[in-house]
Homo-oligomer: A and B are copies of this chain.
Amino acid sequence: MSLKMMNRTTKITGLFNIRYPLVQGGMVWCSGWRLAAAVSNCGGLGLLGAGSMHPDTLQEHLQKLKAATSRPFGVNVPLFYPEIGAIMDIIAAAQTPVVFTSAGSPKTWTGWLHQRGIVVAHVVSSALFAVKCEQAGVDAVVAEGFEAGGHNGREETTTMALIPAVRRATALPLLAAGGIGSGRAMLAAIALGADGVQIGSRFAISQESSAHPAFKDMVIKSGEGATMLALKKLSPVRLLRNEFFAQVSAAEKQGASEPELATLLGKGRAKLGMFDGDLVNGELEIGQVAALFDDVPTVSDIMSAILSEYETARCEMNNLSL
């Protein structure tokens, strides 16, 4: 075994055939072909977020993405998606090299995807589900902590507590997600036992993200405590505090039932907020780490900053013996 092979991060770079063990999360209303192509072209793995795409939209994004990069890329697919069969057929027809599945059982599609030569990662929020992923034959797990934006686990386990638990439970290649928006956080995740990272929020607030500029602007002006987990009786989701969040929060404090919350939520709130830019009535999904963002850089600048900070902090460890 060569020294290079001993590097834990090559579990990820080797699996996806990418240069850096860094995946860009496939986020609804943010992760279109421009974002994914930019990340893949910088040596990470760019993902389309199929969760906010109709089949024909996904097909268009896949075509444009393939024209914009010759590097590996992937698609994130929430498994509860109603048109899941059509989505998977389009993914396979486009010879997509990697699929990240979430929000469902990893058993359902892993075999089908493997038969078509597609590498499969599954997103989990517990060690219990990481073990189920291993049993289902997935190739890698993403363990996502409580601090992450958007949909979130019921156990509320944070990245700091989750990564060691998942690392202990499975030998699968492991990507850490949640709270990671810098090179130092990437190093911390790898110190905890991850083989690489999935970064969402930092890329949601980039030039290439398809989110509405008003949403990006609101995020960079937000500070600590600006996000909170909401709608726990339905499906927990981390949202930026706005008028819609305030209504949900007030209803929850008064003990609103599941059907009452579902009515209040209605349909299309995430598109309304993140894509259409209605900052009052929309659902604004972003992670806690966004409190640290002051700007809307290009993907290239984000990648350079994260990778160079990782290397600086990694070398600094040589001076931190006890």
Flag whether A263 is at the interface (Cβ < 8 A).
no
In the bound complex, do residue A160 and residue B160 qualify as a contact, i.e. CB atoms below 8 Å apart?
yes
Which A residues from 1 to 39 make CB contacts under 8 A with B? Answer: 3, 6-9, 19-21
Flag whether A65 is at the interface (Cβ < 8 A).
no
Flag whether A300 is at the interface (Cβ < 8 A).
no
Flag whether A274 is at the interface (Cβ < 8 A).
no
* Beta-carbon nearest neighbor of A193 in chain B: B184
Bound: A287/B180 CA distance, A: 21
Q: What is the CB-to-nearest-CB distance from A321 to chain B, in angstroms, rounded to a whole number?
A: 7
Flag whether A267 is at the interface (Cβ < 8 A).
no
Q: What is the CB-to-nearest-CB distance from A110 to chain B, in angstroms, rounded to a whole number?
A: 23
In the bound complex, do residue B318 and residue A8 qualify as a contact, i.e. CB atoms below 8 Å apart?
no
Q: What is the CB-to-nearest-CB distance from A202 to chain B, in angstroms, rounded to a whole number?
A: 12
In the bound complex, do residue B158 and residue A313 qualify as a contact, i.e. CB atoms below 8 Å apart?
no
In the bound complex, do residue A158 and residue B159 qualify as a contact, i.e. CB atoms below 8 Å apart?
yes
Bound: A145/B289 CA distance, A: 13
Residues from chain B with Cβ under 8 Å of A188 in the complex: 160, 187-189, 191-192
Flag whether A200 is at the interface (Cβ < 8 A).
no
Bound: A317/B310 CA distance, A: 11
Bound: A287/B157 CA distance, A: 10
In the bound complex, do residue A322 and residue B165 qualify as a contact, i.e. CB atoms below 8 Å apart?
no
Q: What is the CB-to-nearest-CB distance from A286 to chain B, in angstroms, rounded to a whole number?
A: 12
A321 touches which of B19, B156, B180, B311 (Cβ 8 Å)? B311
- Copies held by the complex: 2
Bound: A306/B259 CA distance, A: 48
In the bound complex, do residue A182 and residue B164 qualify as a contact, i.e. CB atoms below 8 Å apart?
yes
Contact with B along A237-249 (1 / 0, CB 8 A): 0000000000000
Residues from chain B with Cβ under 8 Å of A189 in the complex: 188
Residues from chain B with Cβ under 8 Å of A157 in the complex: 147, 224-225, 288, 291
Contact with B along A175-202 (1 / 0, CB 8 A): 0001110101101111111000000000
Residues from chain B with Cβ under 8 Å of A256 in the complex: 255
Q: What is the CB-to-nearest-CB distance from A75 to chain B, in angstroms, rounded to a whole number?
A: 25
Q: What is the CB-to-nearest-CB distance from A312 to chain B, in angstroms, rounded to a whole number?
A: 11
The 6 closest A-B pairs by CB, nearest first: A255-B255, A160-B179, A155-B225, A188-B188, A161-B288, A158-B158
Can you report 19 residue pairs joining A to B where beta carbons are below 8 Å apart? A6-B319, A9-B320, A9-B322, A20-B322, A146-B146, A147-B157, A147-B158, A147-B160, A155-B225, A156-B228, A158-B160, A160-B178, A161-B288, A165-B224, A184-B191, A188-B192, A255-B255, A311-B322, A317-B317
